[in-house]
Amino acid sequence: MLISNAYAQAADAGAGGGLAGFLPLILMILVLYFLMIRPQMKRAKEHRAMVGALSKGDEVITGGGIAGKVTEVNDNFILVEIANNTVVTVQKQTITAVLPKGTLKAL
């Protein structure tokens, strides 16, 4: 015969152990958690707290870039006055920032 037979290696000859094989995967998951998941959870928690603390008279910016003053707060929606006698209804979750008092007058 020109081709020799191939035999399997012994079971302990190349194995690095069960945990050593999963160590890179475990490290990648930990890095992913600390660099991506945890900061995102922190930002979401801060946003929920900001939206929960909205009250009448706050000056806000919506996700679409509209700046205005909160005139009424409901469970899921708020009324925002964007100009004199112009009030729009927006969802609470679209509020991206609460501005310091008097900011709208400076614009």
How do the pLDDT tens digits run along the chain, 107 residues long?
Answer: 677 777 776 655 555 567 788 899 999 999 999 999 999 999 999 999 999 999 999 999 999 999 999 999 999 999 999 999 999 999 999 999 999 998 988 87
The span from the CA of 52 to the CA of 39, in Å, is: 20
Q: Is residue 5 part of a domain?
A: no
Q: Is residue 70 part of a domain?
A: yes
Q: What's the number of domains the chain is made of? A: 1
Q: Domain range for residue 100?
A: 18-106
Residues 6+ apart with CB under 8 A from 90: 62, 66, 77, 78, 80
Q: Is residue 40 part of a domain?
A: yes
Q: Is residue 3 part of a domain?
A: no
Q: Is residue 13 part of a domain?
A: no
pLDDT of residue 52: 94
The span from the CA of 58 to the CA of 96, in Å, is: 13
Q: What is the pTM of this model?
A: 0.72
Nearest alpha carbon to residue 61 among 106, 100, 8, 23 = 100
Q: Which amino acid is at 60?
A: V
Q: Is residue 9 part of a domain?
A: no
Q: Is residue 76 part of a domain?
A: yes
